[in-house]
Structures are given as C-alpha cells and as structure tokens.
Structure 1
C-alpha cells in the first residue's frame, strides 16, 4: 500500500521532493549567478566604457584575476571543507562575498571607480566561490540518498548553466543601464540572500573529521590528511581524465573573453548582443546538464565526441559571421559542456573515496581552472592583434588534440580504487558501460 506514494513522490524533481537540497541548490544558483553577472558586466564595462586601447588585454587580465582564487586557494579550501561543518563554510563564503560586493557598490556610488577596485572585487567574489562550489559538491551525500547522487549532480551542475544564463541576461544590460554600482548592488543582494537560505538548511549528521569517534573515525581522519598530490597519484584513471579536460579548458574557457570582443569588433553591437550570446551558451549548458545522464556511451568515448562537436561549433562561428549563427554555435558548445559535466562529475563521485572528496573536488576545481588565467591572458592579448573570428578558429583547432587523447584513454583497470559507503578504498571492476 505504501509503494504507490513513494513511486509518485520519486517522479517529482529532486529539488521539490528534497527540500534541504532544493534550498542549497537555490543558494548556489544565486551565488554563481552573482559572480557570473559580475564577470560579464565588468568585462563589458572594460571593453565598452573604461578602456580605450588594449581592450583585449584589459578584459583578459580581468578574467584571469577572477580565476586565481580557485587555483591558489585549493589547499586551503580542501583543509577548510574537511575540518569545518559544511553549512558554516557555505554560509561564510556567501556572506563574505556579499559584504565585498556591498562595499564596492558604496564606493561606485560615492565616486568614480578605479580599475583596481573592480579587480579587487572580483578577487573577493571568486574567493568566496572557490570555497562554496567544492564544499557544496562534497556535501551532496549529506543532502540526498545514494540513488539520487547523479540527479543531484545534474541539478548542481545545471546551476552553472542557470548562472551563465542569468549573468548573461543581466550583467551587460545592468552595466549599460545602471553602471558598475547597480551591478554590485545586485551581486550583494544575491550573495546575502544565499547566506540566509543556507542558514535555514539542516545537513545530515556525519562523523565530523575534527571530532572522530573510535578507530574507524580516526582512520578516516588520517585519509583526509592525505596530501592533494597523493590523492591524485592513487587515482591514475581520474588523473588522466582531468589532464585531458585541463588541456581542453585552455581553449573552451577562452569563450568568455571572445564573446565581448566578437560583439564589439565583428558584430559591432552593444550589451544586448553580449546578453544574447552569453545566454545562448548558458541555455545550451542548462539543457546538457539536465539531459546528460540520459546520453548513452562510455564516459571517455562520449567525452571525446563532445569535444569534437565543440570544436566544430567554434569552427563554424569563426567561418560564418552572424549574430544568430554564433548564438546557435554557442548553444551546441554549451550543451556539450553540460553533458560532460554531469557524466564525469557523477563518475568522480563514485570513484573517489569519501575521505578524499574534500581534497579531490578542491583539486579538480583548481586543476580545471588553472588554465583559465592563461587562456584569458593569451586570448586577450591575441584579441588586440587578431580578429575575434580567428580566435574562434584557434579554439576549434586546440580542442582536437584533447579529444583524441580522451578517445585513446583506456578504461579504469580492476586495480583502480573506488569508494565504498564507509569511504574505504577497495578495488572494483568496471563494466563496459562506464559510469552508471
């Protein structure tokens, strides 16, 4: 008699039937939308209003600065997420970023805003996000049941899509209408609201790493003290996947520098077109995040095909000029990013031991983000000397070797350690289907 209500309940989206996860997910949407809105808005402000020459370098440097905290703070983030209650880390990260955005808003309203202030603000917001994102990823098992992990991963990764969509639609438009001051007010409101939402959530109690009980908890604590290098050394299959996507990110993340340059120099349009192109990328990623679990194929083979599809999309954008042509190409590229995120983060959730997850997801964010500063500076400099269409073709060519390397990557061997419910490391054979 009780089976029918359970089945009906399970047909509801996870964010509706699990209030705790839904609330945290909403908080993540707000934080990532805020930081993306700030990045898009300030990048457009630099190109359209603040800088008259060397716009590509100014925008590229800004995007590079915005990614430094995720790389530099990775060891600190790993220790913090492992030692402190996850709700406290999430709340503090959101509140800190909101305070920084509010301070920038006051400054911008009071006087002309120097470029250095905008760069400092993006450092503060990115630092908050560097703690928030890996902490939330680590917290997923505390919010959902094991059978819901992949669904939760899809919702979590879709946040970046929603954030890109919201940031794209609002960032450049707010700057055109209300300047950086109005942009900072919006960011502050989003971050502080997220901090309040996090406060209302109760996470499932788990064995706290800073308060172990018995030999089993002590062993887990010892695992969490493993160095970040050792974590990756013990996961060769995962490490090789990360290296492939790190190489790919050198060319995919450059899109955030290319979009405003393409709008200004090729399409010769304003903030509304920046909003359209950023929204196209966000919509594509959103669709990919929600459909990724249903796309068939082994993870590495599928990932290689998706990188190839992204390469083709960038090539079309470089060869054919048109607002809606590049918008369509960005939808395709975004869909590929969304599917890749769902399939591979879900794979990592199952392959990485529980005790290593705080360190691993901080490392993952840092490793994948390490190429962003280089890509931003490189494509920003190139954008001052080459056309934006040529930059698209460089992106397309750069993805081909990464796709080939991923396609040639062998599946995880039976000796590769995986995580069981207790967080211990045990060998497990992998089926031909890859991630479930």
Structure 2
C-alpha cells in the first residue's frame, strides 16, 4: 500500500511510505503513517507519525538503505498518537535524502504484532543558477547543465554527481545554440544542440572537446535543410548509438558516422517530422518521437517500424520523452494525452490521462524510472507512481522545488501573464539509476 506524506510547509519534503496490509490483531491505523519534514520550528526536524484506533505501546527501529540502524524508540506508556522526531538539524542528525525502512512493533494487553514500512525523503536541491536551466545531460559521473536562452547569457556548467563540485565550461556563449535543447557525450566530445535565429544568433550544432576544450561549429557539415532549401531552425535531440550520433532536427532525422552526415528517410514517419526526442532502450533499440506531427518509430536490428494514431494504439499528440521500466515496458511522455505505456512483447498500448487515472497533467515533458515511474509536467511539478494509477505529486507547495517568474514579469510585473510557474524541463538517469531533473533555475535529484 503506497502512502503519501503530508508536510508542514512548502519547504517540507513530499514522501511515500510503503506499508503492507496486515491482519489487524492489536490496533488499526486511523490515518496513514506519515513522514514529515517540520520546518516551522527554528531547527528542521524529520518526523514519523503514527495514529492508532486504540492506545498501544510501540517499539520502532528505522534503518537506512544499507540496513544500518539510525533510530530506535520504545514507548514509556501507551497512547494512540505518536509523533517521533527521528532527525534534528540542530544536532546534526537530519536525515539525508533517500529511502529508509522501519520495523514497528505494536503491543496491547499482551498481544503484539510487527509491521514494516518504507519512506523516501524525496527531492534534493543540488544547485540554483542565475538563469533558467534549458537542458541537462549526464555521462560518466558528470552532470552537464545548460542555462540561459536567446535573451540571457547561455552557459554550460559541469556538476560532479559524486562530490557535488561545480564548474563552468570556458566556451564563448556566442558560439552556442540559443537556447541549448540537448547535450550528449559522444566519443571525446560533448555535442550541444539547439536553436539558431537570424535575429538572435546562435548555432544549431556544436561540439566541445573534452580533451583540449576547443569548440567546433558543425551546422555547415550537418547541412540540415527544409523542402524549400532553407536552413533548419533547430536541432532538438541527440542520441549516440554504437559508433553513430543520431541528430533530431526541426526537419527530420540525421545521422553522423565519423565525419559524414546523412539524412535518415526510412523511419516510416514523415521525413520532415520534427524529431523532438530519442532514446536507446535496454535491448539496444533506438526510439524517436515527433511533437509537431506526432508519431514514434523504433529501429530494431536495422529495421524501422513507425507507430501512429492510425496504425496502432498510440494516441494523438506529440511525444517529448522516453524511458523504460525494469520489466521492459516503454514509457512515453505526451504533450496532449499524458503518459503512454507500450509493451513490445505483447504489443499492448495503455495511456494515462487525468480523465482515466490520477496522472497530474495531459501535458507531460519528461519521464524516468527510479523505484517507480516519475513524470514531469511543464506546469504542475513531478509525480511518482508504483502502479500508474495512484500518483504522489511534488511541487513548490510540499518540496524543495522552487518556482520561476514568467518572461512577462520582466516587462510588466502587473500583467496577467506575469506568474510564478514550475517548469520541469528534463529528467535524466545515470548509469547507477539515479535520476536528476532540471526544474526552473535549479537542478535536483529525485528519489
């Protein structure tokens, strides 16, 4: 049974507690067990709360992910309500972010039973930047963070995911895309893709050498053209696979082999489709998705297969991101029809929207997996689910997540378009299964 924690204030941490359904022999829970981060006092306090139908004695042991005991408690007299301070900032025992489990023994009138539960201290803010984060990418323990856009200085930062050290790459911002939409390490280079504007400048595609820190502009080599022979307006996605780099543009899919670039025309989708997202799954298949024209395609053993609203169970709309569950289901974040799940083995499609499930939004921009499915909305934060029907939402009201002001606020703070919003730009997963998110001006780790 997945339980959602409540919190005292907007700086609290949204969490989930797993409690099995026991045969009630001593006392039932009258409310769901809750983990709370109490920030209302002068010192933050981690708390576990249990409420029972009868007065009981309890013994509690809390363990970290390595099964080390971090907190023990035994009641002195029975009561029906327990709020236990399991960590305090003032004495240096505030819990780290992550997953914990506990053993709770309940006793009354000579009877006792033991229940087990789990909770997660769920969102960790790593760094707030001066400008909005437009993209993140992770490779070999390094999280690359792009900030800025056509109106603000574009920079690329590097965060060591092991020790948290942060540096800014020495790159001329005028040579970078404005903004950066995607970054991927391929070979010894970090490739940076994004938008180029006749009025605002920028470049569609560049590569930054991780060896000698030099920058190379690649758009003339890419030679991305529209049907009217105009230059493409954007490169949206990059995906290394084997020795190739696949490049998703505003006008179709390209591939780079060595120094040679060529257009891919056999995907089964419109060859001029915008390729907004790409993903290589656990089986080595390459998935691509279009936003403006819709549809996805997969390359398996050298052959492409396209899925559209007309030929499959894929719903209408565009697709922004892919992920995969440990069991092999492909997850797709849609910009109209929410979350889509596809089982390649059974070829069964399922889609989840606010109309048929508890999913937080029709318009999703990112999806990932870490001990459950994580989805990111452009407006409503992040949600996590174990079963794709019940979701625990984290936003600025119940987690460390921070909002940003819309661009309209810079010109007219009194405008109806001036709002505080949550923008989940992207979620990425590293080789260890850790999930990082770009939200507003910050980068976070999600648990």
Report the TM-score when normalising by structure 2. Answer: 0.21
**Larger RCO (alpha carbons 8 Å, 6+ apart):** 1
Structure index of larger Rg: 2
Structure having the larger proportion of residues in strand? 2
